[in-house]
Structure 1
Amino acid sequence: MAANNGLHVTAAMDDEESHSNGGKIQPVSSTPGHQNWVLDIDKKQQVPPTLGDLLGVHELFSLDVWRASIGELVGTAVLVFMLDTIVISTIEADIKIPNLVLSVLAAIIITILLLAVHPVSGGHINPIISFSAALVGLISLSRALIYIIAQSLGGVLGALALKAVVSSKIEQGFSLGGCTLTVVAPGPNGPITIGLETAQALWLEIFCSFIFLFASIWMAYDHRQAKELGHILIFSIVGTVLGLLVFVSTSVTTQKGYAGAGMNPARCIGPAIVRGGHLWDGHWVFWVGPAVACVAFYLYTKIIPRQHHKSKGYEHDFSKVVKVMFGGKSM
């Protein structure tokens, strides 16, 4: 789930070693045979990057990037199929604490899928990671757009695969395991709507998404922690944090009908498109909430001291894009 090279872990490790050899930072794309950029931290660039360079417009026409996005598509499809299956099975099995079992299994599955997709595309399988990585500058906005489109299509394919193997009764009763704020349930005087208010759900989505970025993805963005921990351990932490946040978001409200914080818009949009109906009620929350969290996390990385977060050398940093757009020079 994160930056251009598996939450940028491998590149981050190489970065630390490169500082002792000529002062070069040479992040390498996870796509074989493709290098994104080389930045000399001791010399100013002879030719200032254009807006197109910072946005990575050339990547829209790069076969390597589109081929890498297939990993995002397949990985997200598998994620949606497996997570939604777990949601249905844990509730159907009448377990005493279904959200706890769901959280543990989700953590395991997410970790495995991140490790599987990492060599292909960097292992995002989540629009939150792609968007956040683009803001920080680990990947371009163009690559992030391609990844998010692929992830959304993957979510739809995963939901279609699940629909093909479950009965219509389960599909209707469990909404394909999709992201819901409310559901319609039988009441004493007819059907009633139960669930969580939109404002509460939006705040939960923002808080949980920010915590996810701060508590796990942060480790991959910081070169020192990435080098010390290694990408296998970081992916495990990412999965664990997501699992814990799923448990927290479903436990803190105790509202039936609310499926918990999505923290992955691609996972939410798949069942919404395939199943439709009430899954579209308040669906925007599962996109706006994470987007706000990504912006908040980016602002946080710009506020803290440089020595505590080594992001100065990232080529596609959004602040550089803004400077060029308004006629300033990129630093």
Structure 2
Amino acid sequence: MASKNNVVFGDEENQLPGGTNKVQPCSSTSRKNTIDDEGKKPIFLSFSERLGVPDFFCLDVWRASMGELLGSAVLVFMLDTIVISTLESDTKMPNLIMSILIAIVITILLLAVVPVSGGHINPIISFSAALVGIISMSRAIIYIMAQCVGAILGALALRAVVSSSIEDTFSLGGCTITIIAPGPNGPVIVGLEMAQALWLEIFCTFVFLFASIWMAYDHRQAKSLGHVTVLSIVGVVLGLLVFISTTVTARKGYGGAGMNPARCLGPAIIRGGHLWDGHWIFWVGPTIGCVAFYVYTKIIPPKHFLGEYGFKHDFVGVVKALSNV
């Protein structure tokens, strides 16, 4: 059954032929109309069509974004709970247990949200899918806003159920680069240098997209591997990257690669304080990683990825359309 269900990341417009659970595109131009009748030359699409402006006025897209909102809220609540509980336990390798639990939770959440919105629940996925052209930039903006709001709600829910001492001790499970810890001569700041944290975000984001989302973006691999397999691999890769980023640094105060700006934003807004220290890294790093992955998709032979003409929302196509406005 999984092999027949082709629902994968960012595939709302193109990868579910005949499906009943995809978000219907609101643009008047479908993908097949980007090629002329002879099938030889792609026809011109306006800047508005490339950007997907009609998605802003599409009720179905906004309704799908509710799946992103709720999924992000549950994600933040669950992941931050896992972070707090594993660090508070007496286990010798809390980062290993945390990584395994994160992989399981992410896989389950993706399976729940994919039929609703495509299962992004991460600005990295939405932005990368928009750059590649699988979804429009307009839809990506809607999804990212929903993800950020959901992350804030998830952090609020967590704050409501934990004690103030746990909230202070574990920073509400948020993304941290440094923390203030007691030292021999008073409080000291411990953690990772910002340059190191930025490079980790860039590398981990690129590896995440390359090693897991790549399979979802490629129609052939997504179809051959199947829905459940692809999403399970995504969860495992994320769990491995969390484990690697926390192990390779081994620095107290560094919470590991975020790889999800919305997840880092929620606790930062609700908890505040030192969670804002270097918070920009959790946005800038993944953005650079997404752009690097997009450049990679443009370098490889087209026949090995999106076919001869690609997707109509591809970023290069958007820029070309803008130059003709």
- The reply to whether TM is greater than 0.5 is yes
SS state of the match for residue 242, structure 1?
helix
Percent of aligned pairs with the same residue? 66
Q: 1:189 to 1:283 in 2, by over 3 A?
A: same
Q: Which residue of 2 aligns with 1:320?
A: 317
* 1:138-153 equivalence runs, <5 A: 138-153=134-149
Is the Cα contact below 8 Å between 2:73 and 2:155 reproduced in 1? yes
Q: Does 1:270 align with 2:272?
A: no
Query: Structure 1: which amino acid aligns with 2:123?
Result: P
Instruction: Measure the CA separation in 1 of the matches of 2:31 and 2:204.
Output: 35
Q: CA deviation at 1:47?
A: 6.3
Is the Cα contact below 8 Å between 2:155 and 2:267 reproduced in 1? yes
Equivalent of 2:119 in 103, 123, 129: 123
Q: Which residue of 1 aligns with 2:293?
A: 297
User: What TM-score does the superposition give when structure 1 sets the normalisation length?
Assistant: 0.90
Q: Which residue of 2 aligns with 1:98?
A: 94
1:297-322: CA deviation from partner (whole Å, max 9, x where unpaired): 00000001112112533110001011
Q: 1:55 to 1:5 in 2, by over 3 A?
A: farther
SS state of the match for residue 39, structure 2?
coil
Instruction: Measure the CA separation in 2 of the matches of 1:238 and 1:207.
Output: 16
- Give the number of aligned pairs: 314
Is the Cα contact below 8 Å between 1:152 and 1:266 reproduced in 2? yes
Instruction: Measure the CA separation in 2 of the matches of 1:181 and 1:114.
Output: 27
SS state of the match for residue 39, structure 1?
helix
Instruction: Measure the CA separation in 2 of the matches of 1:9 and 1:112.
Output: 19
Is the Cα contact below 8 Å between 1:11 and 1:28 reproduced in 2? no
Q: CA deviation at 1:13?
A: 5.8
Instruction: Measure the CA separation in 1 of the matches of 2:55 and 2:264.
Output: 27
Instruction: Measure the CA separation in 2 of the matches of 1:53 and 1:149.
Output: 21
Quote the RMSD (CA, aligned, Å): 2.1
Equivalent of 1:241 in 225, 237, 244: 237
Q: Does 1:75 align with 2:77?
A: no
Q: 1:237 to 1:46 in 2, by over 3 A?
A: closer
Q: 1:82 to 1:46 in 2, by over 3 A?
A: closer
1:240-276: CA deviation from partner (whole Å, max 9, x where unpaired): 0000000000000000000000000010000000000
Instruction: Flag structure 1 segments of 5+ consecutive residues without an equivalent.
Output: 16-25
Q: Which residue of 2 aligns with 1:187?
A: 183
Where in structure 1 do 4 or more consecutive aligned residues deviate above 4 Å? 8-15, 26-29, 33-36, 44-47
User: What TM-score does the superposition give when structure 2 sets the normalisation length?
Assistant: 0.92
SS state of the match for residue 192, structure 1?
strand
Q: CA deviation at 1:43?
A: 3.0
Instruction: Measure the CA separation in 2 of the matches of 1:197 and 1:99.
Output: 20
